[in-house]
Amino acid sequence: MTARYDVVIAGAGVVGAAMALALRDLGLKIVVVAPLPPAPASPPARAAPVRPIALAAPSWEMLTAQGLIEANTGTPIETIHISWRGRFGRTVLSAREHQLPSLGQVVDALQLEQHAFRSVAPFHMAGEVEHWTSNGDPLTLAIRNDAVSNTIETRLLVLADGGGLGPLETVHDYAQVAWFGTVRTTRPHANIAYERFTDEGPLALLPFGDRYAFVWATSSARATTMPSDDEAFCAALAGTFGERLGHFHDVSMRACIPLLLKRARATDTSGVIVIGNAAQTLHPVAGQGLNLGLRDVCQLAAAISSSSTDALGSAAFVAAFGKQRRIDRAATMRTTDLFARLFASSGSLVALVGSIGLASIDALPPARAFLARRMLLGARAIP
């Protein structure tokens, strides 16, 4: 007989795992369909580069409460220094000014993802959702695990697969890549994060343990000429950042990925809800992608817990969720896209507007408070 569920979650990344954990006490029949991670290489390859993630306070609290992050494993950001290389105008956001313990916490995405996967073991079905058919209620899903195919049914399918299943359309190609890893600097970080905009793309330095983690966007063209030698890489990084932190040294292994703004083509058809990176993938500037995905999780969990089981996946349920999430998703997408494009522009008028914008934010405490709240809370910061 075909197994039947109330909710099937496709994907056990951080968003899929957080979704499953948010539903675990609701008395629903749920399953998380996700492929097993690849077996570790033998002999082990060099350690994978740290991919830093800055979690806003609400995301941090949620993941800690769910047990996905252990207390004291993150590095708090107490101050964010935002500037534009070679232009006037800069602003500083401080946790103390906004009576907050911190503006966020920095953790390693890879470790978080491994922990997320392990935490869904009680609900896990190994495999990948291949496709689904809807001939009314319920949906029928085809699951493939290696060469074996299987069929299950569900009232609601939550796609948290990062964008493989419901294909994403590319809205903008930034013609940039993001380099990430860790590096040491002569001066200690003192829990200060830097977001430094340059004509090529933003460079974020995030306090991470006793080091800095970096996410450095450069033009795609430069990706091929970036030095592989550690010392030369540090020199290039210092050349972009400047001398404020002293000498850069001891860079870790690093990797780079292309940067695209993508959005799900047709979100939220009947019986199917798309969350996290499966709904959109953003430029990493301002560190909003996972925070936005976790706000999807919070609102979907609240909607599911206040719905009758029979109504899960109904057209009305799916449409109501889409409506609830529209403003936050659109505003976050627009803000990160604006930051990524405005500051990478070499036009003098745009440069002037950007510089004046940064200087004005710095001069106006309410504007600084709004920016801090916007980064922490998403659309809830909009009065």
Helix H, strand E, coil C: the string for 5-31 is EEEEEECCCHHHHHHHHHHCCCCCCEE
What's the gap between Cα 194 and its chain centre? 18
Point out which residues pair with 206 in neighbouring strands: 213
Question: 3-state DSSP call for residue 1?
Answer: coil
The rounded radius of gyration (Å) of the Cα atoms in the chain is: 22
- Cβ-based nearer residue to ligand FAD, 60 or 84: 60
53 binds ligand FAD (CB under 6 A): yes
If the CB atoms of residues 78 and 161 are measured against ligand FAD, the closer one turns out to be 161
- Smaller CB separation from ligand FAD, 13 or 202: 13
Residue among 3, 28, 35, 373 that touches ligand FAD (CB under 6 A): 35
180 contacts ligand FAD (rule: CB under 6 A)? yes
CB of 117 to ligand FAD, least distance (A): 7
**Does 207 engage in binding with ligand FAD (CB under 6 A)?**
no
Minimum distance of ligand FAD from residue 17's CB (angstroms): 8
Instruction: Tell me which long-range contacts 236-245 makes (C-beta under 8 A, separation of at least 24).
Output: 237/183, 237/203, 240/85, 240/196, 240/198, 240/200, 240/203, 240/216, 241/194, 241/196, 241/203, 241/205, 242/85, 242/196, 244/187, 244/194, 245/185, 245/186, 245/187, 245/189, 245/205, 245/212
Q: Looking at 5, 6, 7, 13, which residue binds ligand FAD (CB under 6 A)?
A: 13
| Smallest gap from residue 176 Cβ to ligand FAD (A) | 11
Among 271, 289, 313, 378, binds ligand FAD (CB under 6 A): 289
The nearest distance, CB 351 to ligand FAD, in angstroms, is 26
| Interface contacts to ligand FAD, rule CB under 6 A | 10-16, 33-35, 51, 53-54, 109, 128-129, 160-162, 164-165, 178, 180, 215, 257, 276-277, 284, 287-291, 293
